[in-house]
Structure 1
Amino acid sequence: MKLKNAGYYIVLFIILTGAITTSLFIVNSCSEEPKNANNIVIAQEESSSSSQTSNSEDEKFSSNDPALIVQNQYRKIAKANLPSVVHITSLVEQEVPSLPFFFPFFGNLPQDPSQKRKVEVFGSGFIISKEGHILTNYHVVNNVKDLRVRLMDGSEFEGKVLGTDQDLDVAVIKINPAGKILPVVKLGDSDSLEIGDIIFAIGNPFGLDGTFTQGIVSAKGRTSLGINQYENFIQIDAAINPGNSGGPLLNIKGEVVGINDAIYSQTGNYAGVGFAIPINIVKKNLNDLIAGKPIEYGYLGVSVMPMDNDKAEYYGLKQPTGVIVVSVEPNSPASKAGVKNLDVILTYNGKKINNAGELSFYIKDSKPNEKVTLQVLRKVEGKVKTINLTVIIEKRQSSNLSQQKPDNWLGVLVGDLDDSLKEKYKQWGVTFGVVVLAISNKSPAAQLGIAEGDVIYQINDYEIKSAEQFYQVLDKVKTTKKIVILINRRGSSLMLTIGR
């Protein structure tokens, strides 16, 4: 997997107290050394003695000075939004597998795969209604107990999870304000963001409440990162760290334009690359989340591959653009609309397609029964023509995956290859195995790059013939020093290795 091979890790911004309490204690202890206290006093005295010089320097600044105007705007944004950001704590029972790619972030936790332990988790959230609705990340509140919400003024409330979506990694929780007037954020327009725009992040990194940091939008539309199933991230360089999960990303007007979600890091801490979920995606599905309804995602029914220079030349393109259709599912919206293998999808409802991740995002972002237009490049008898196809998007069939959750250490849900699936997969040489139906976000399977639709046909020396056998074998091998998983992915054989 690209992220793993590069030596980087996607890190979620929740804190497990067992992993960081010691570090925080050391910091506090050091700050209490008498020598440090004396240094602080001396510094204060020196600062006081030079106050007249500082005042005279301040007089040189005009109230219209650009630096002061910007600083005052920063202050206004912080003052207006800090009270709306909350500190979320909960207890979660975790099973920590002994896998090397967890070491940088979870290195202090017990590494026995069979051992479970209750840990306290910290995260962030922000108030979106006077009635006490709070937005945060799914991974902050997933499978937690004793959910507590603390406001900036120190008041504390019991929290209740109303709705969640794992694919998007968002959740809505609610507190009962009991007559208390709650400060509420203003939701902005994430589509209006441009690269280079000034942004702000608020959260509770390392449990430090109300931390306010500033940066810029580094990139937009980041997909295929392996963080969530539904990705279209805003990339930022504002400092965010463990504990920032679920906190707001603000624009220069002080409006929420995203939910801080993950960082790209070798150490598990800030490295200048962070990712936030665009708020427009969340707003579109907010009513369903509040009502506890599952979010309905669109379904097209195609598999695609990226365009490169050689393939672009074949299609007569001056540069690589679009994605190439490699398979069309029978009776799918794409099939009904006339999409064919080797078609090049150039645009989706007028939006240019640069990679598979973008297409996947646009499809999922469409609602069932919505009509969309695909601009397709098709080569017929040596001639290339561009055609427009109207597709009626259907509801994604989840096979009740919202009710079925991977509950094994690998983090995968698999199903048997029934006759219809065998017919579909035989074109790729699949004769036995189990098909991957779902993957838990941030699980070992996700880190390895296992994808939905993969066929797992062998683990170590065990050939996998059924879902029941798969789970039995998974339980047998979890304590072995090396685990080898063989996968068929659309005719390509992959060997994934887990070592201790």
Structure 2
Amino acid sequence: MSRADSPRFFASRARFVLRYTALTACLGALLLAFSGPGPAAAQTTKQVPETRAEIQYSFAPLVRKVGPAVVNIYARAEVTERRASPLFDDPFFRRFFGDVFPGEARKRTSQSLGSGVILREDGLVVTNFHVIKGADEITVVLSDRREFDATILLQEERTDLAVLKIDTGGEKLPHLEIRDSDELEVGDLVLAIGNPFGVGQTVTSGIVSALARTALGITDYSFFIQTDAAINPGNSGGALISMDGRLVGVNTAIYSNQKGSGGSVGIGFAVPSNMVRTILDGVDEGSVVRPWIGVSGQTMTSDLAEQFGLPRPVGVAVTDVYPDGPAANAGIRIGDVILKVGGREIVDEQALRYRVATRPLGGAARIEILRGGAHQVVEVPMKAPLTQPEPDLRDMRGQHPMSGAQVANLSPAFALEHGLDDMARGVVVLKVTRQSPAARVGLRPGDVVLKINDDTIDLVSSLEPALMSAKKAWRISIRREGQVLTTEIKG
């Protein structure tokens, strides 16, 4: 046996390592004592568990406190479907006859399940919009198995949130307080509580994996908390809880590598509680009205950041400012770069929409911009979307290509209400009757009419005269999905 393999050599080397480690620790402690706490230590009081007792904790006291405020939701809807003979489903038959035999209309009951959170003791429950979408009957089941019929007070597809009300005859229910979701940090412990797969209330734990996830396309206000706490089908609408027992998010979606048919893979998303707060305010007011400043822009890329002299790609380059909107009146111009709103960094356009939408109406936000290489701060009032011009809805009739289309004037408020571009101006097509002249020329809902021949169309009142003045041909220009399309129709 060589000297390096002998037990005595290993023992002496181990003693040397221990003494060296102890000496290093002492020197580190002395340096820390003389230099004082660093910036990171001064900013946080959170500590990693160090002892065995600290590691062997239990969430049981927390779950006992918050669990009764999380409910199960069962939604039922009656849907009509057509069932035909199996012969009509044969590919050979359909090749020649298509759908000329649609089959017999039958009704069936569609059921969905999800979760919800009681946020007020009088029975106010928040859940996801997709859990109760189209429901004819909604039942809320408490953790003690009592069942109540629920009514919908407010639902908003844009945020995938809905508010329900149950009548308990005056009994006060356990409920959760809302915490400021901006206080969360990556690495914070959280609990996800819900009813996955209909098995009953389940609690899973994890950490906040990421904040401000925006490029998801789940809602119009894409700004999510990401967590690795297990979230499965049925958890939708359930609670994401911080360690102080308050609501920080409503569990909404999961990432699945099986095209939506799989379960949790450790990537779940929750609507932040600050967005939940806005929809609760909407219940008190009768409708949800969020601040609107009237800007749109382009998310900063590496190439753009270099052009603007930014050290890294952050912010939104303003490409459009709505005339007479809050941002325009505050002095924001095309070409400015919005860097922060209320002290919060803006990483992309979705983050800008979220930061504005979650601020209270009536106040003002300090918005930091970059203009000409210099940083500036402007105060932008938080106002409701403009309601002018009036919609002036009309069903177009007559001997012209737009006959059969329903049109309206666009205002920011009208556009947001109908899921349209709130920065668009002019006349929008809302509906197109089948087999009408408007349908035959290819008009679609959402098209914005820009010009008829040489006439600029800015209001519905200018559309009809422009159509009627042309008898032999109409050259129509529209904006569709960011592109301008022009076609000419002969009379």
Q: Which category describes the TM-score, using the shorter chain as reference length?
A: 0.5 to 0.7
Q: Does 1:469 align with 2:446?
A: no
Residue matched to 1:86: 71
Tell me which of 302, 307, 320 is aligned to 1:314. Answer: 307
Q: Equivalent residue for 1:65?
A: 53
Change in 2 beyond 3 A, CA 1:276/1:398: farther
Cα deviations by residue, 1:4-40 (Å, 9 ceiling, x for unpaired):
xxxxxxxxxxxxxxxxxxxxxxxxxxxxxxxxxxxxx
| Matches of 1:319 and 1:88, distance apart in 2 | 45
Aligned to 2:276: 282
Distance in 1 between residues matched to 2:216 and 2:106, nearest whole Å: 30
Picking from 164, 171, 179, the partner of 1:188 is 179
Change beyond 3 A, Cα 1:390–1:264 = same
The alignment status of 1:394 with 2:383, answered yes or no, reads yes
Amino acid at match of 2:358: D
Give the corresponding residue for 1:254: 245
**What is the match of residue 113 of structure 2?**
122
Instruction: Name the amino acid aligned to 1:137.
Output: N
Pairing partner for 1:222 from 213, 222, 225: 213
Corresponding position of 2:454: none
Measure how far apart 1:476 and its partner are: 8.9
Tell me, yes or no, if the aligned pair for 1:188 and 1:279 is still in contact at 8 Å.
yes
Q: Which residues in structure 2 correspond to 1:97-246 (within 5 Å)?
A: 117-178=108-169, 182-246=173-237
Query: What does the per-residue CA deviation read over 1:327-370, in whole Å, with 9 as the maximum and x for residues that have no partner?
Result: 11211112212222111112223222211111111122233432
- For structure 1, the residue ranges without an aligned partner over 5 or more in a row are 1-62, 98-111, 405-413, 425-434, 441-450, 456-464, 478-484, 494-500
TM-score, structure 1 normalization:
0.63
| Residue 117 of structure 1: how far off its partner (Å) | 4.8
Alignment match, 1:41: none
Distance 1:297 1:277 in 2: 16
8 Å CA contact 2:122–2:170 kept in 1: the answer is: no
Q: Which has the larger radius of gyration?
A: 2
Relative to structure 1, is the Cα distance of residues 415 and 86 closer, same or farther in structure 2, using a 3 angstrom cutoff?
Answer: same
The alignment yields a C-alpha RMSD, in angstroms, of 3.8
Aligned AA (1:87)? N
What SS is found at the alignment partner of 1:335?
helix
1:109-132 residue CA offsets vs partner (Å, 9 max, x unmatched): xxx9x9975301211112233322
Shift of 1:65: 2.3
Secondary structure of 2:136's match? strand
Structure 2 Cα separation of the partners of residues 399 and 264 of structure 1: 41
Aligned match of 2:29:
none
Which of 313, 321, 324 pairs up with 1:328? 321
SS at match of 1:126: strand
CA distance in 1, matches of 2:170, 2:380: 50
C-alpha separation in 1, matches of 2:312 and 2:281? 42
Change (3 A) 1:189 1:141: same
SS in 2 for 1:65: helix
Aligned to 1:357: 350
Preserved contact between residue 73 and residue 115 of structure 2 (Cα < 8 Å): yes
Instruction: Work out which structure has the larger RCO, using CA pairs closer than 8 Å and 6 or more positions apart in sequence.
Output: 1
Q: Indicate the residue corresponding to 1:16 in structure 2.
A: none
Q: Which residue among 259, 264, 272 is the counterpart of 2:266?
A: 272
1:452 aligns to what? 421
Instruction: State the distance in 2 between where 1:82 and 1:338 align.
Output: 49
SS of residue paired to 2:276: helix
How far apart are the structure 2 equivalents of 1:415 and 1:339?
35
TM-score normalized by the length of structure 2: 0.64
Task: Confirm or deny: 8 A CA contact 1:92 1:145 kept in the other structure.
Answer: yes
| Secondary structure at 1:358 match in 2 | helix
Q: Is the 8 A contact 1:367 1:394 kept in 2?
A: no
Please tell me whether the aligned partners of residues 348 and 362 of structure 1 are also in contact (alpha carbons under 8 angstroms): yes
Cα shift at 1:376: 2.0
> For residue 264 of structure 2, what is the amino acid of its counterpart?
Y
Contact 1:453–1:489 (CA<8 Å) still a contact in 2? Answer: no
Q: Do 2:292 and 2:385's aligned partners in 1 also have CA atoms closer than 8 Å?
A: yes
CA contact (8 A) 2:122 2:171 kept: no
Work out the number of aligned pairs and report it. Answer: 359
Alpha-carbon distance between aligned partners in 1 of 2:76 and 2:271, rounded to the nearest angstrom:
25
CA contact (8 A) 2:415 2:422 kept: yes
1:194-221 per-residue CA deviation (whole Å, 9 max, x = no partner) reads 1011111111111111111111101111
Query: In 2, are the aligned partners of 1:245 and 1:261 still within 8 Å (CA)?
Result: yes
- Paired amino acid for 2:251: N
1:341 aligned residue (316, 334, 349): 334
CA separation in 2, counterparts of 1:233 and 1:308? 21
SS of the aligned residue for 2:255 comes to strand
Counterpart CA distance in 1 for 2:333 and 2:115 is 46
Give CA deviations for 1:156-209 in whole Å, capped at 9, x if unaligned: 111122233333322222222236563333433322211011111111111111
Q: 1:55 — aligned with what?
A: none
5+ long unaligned stretches in structure 2: 1-50, 83-101, 394-404, 441-446, 448-477, 486-491
Q: Distance in 2 between matches of 1:96 and 1:364?
A: 39
Distance (Å, rounded) in 1 between the aligned partners of 2:316 and 2:364: 20
Q: 1:399 to 1:239 in 2, by over 3 A?
A: farther
Q: Give secondary structure in 1 for the equivalent of 2:320.
A: strand
CA offsets per residue over residues 406-458 of structure 1, 9 Å max, x none? xxxxxxxx97476x89xx9xxxxxxxxxx986677xxxxxxxxxx73699xxx
CA distance in structure 2 between the aligned counterparts of 1:392 and 1:471, rounded to whole angstroms = 44
Does the CA contact (< 8 Å) of 1:439 and 1:452 recur in 2? no
Partner AA of 1:334 in structure 2: A
Instruction: Identify if the C-alpha distance between structure 1 residues 95 and 318 changes in structure 2 by more than 3 Å, giving closer, same or farther.
Output: farther
- 2:154 partner amino acid: G
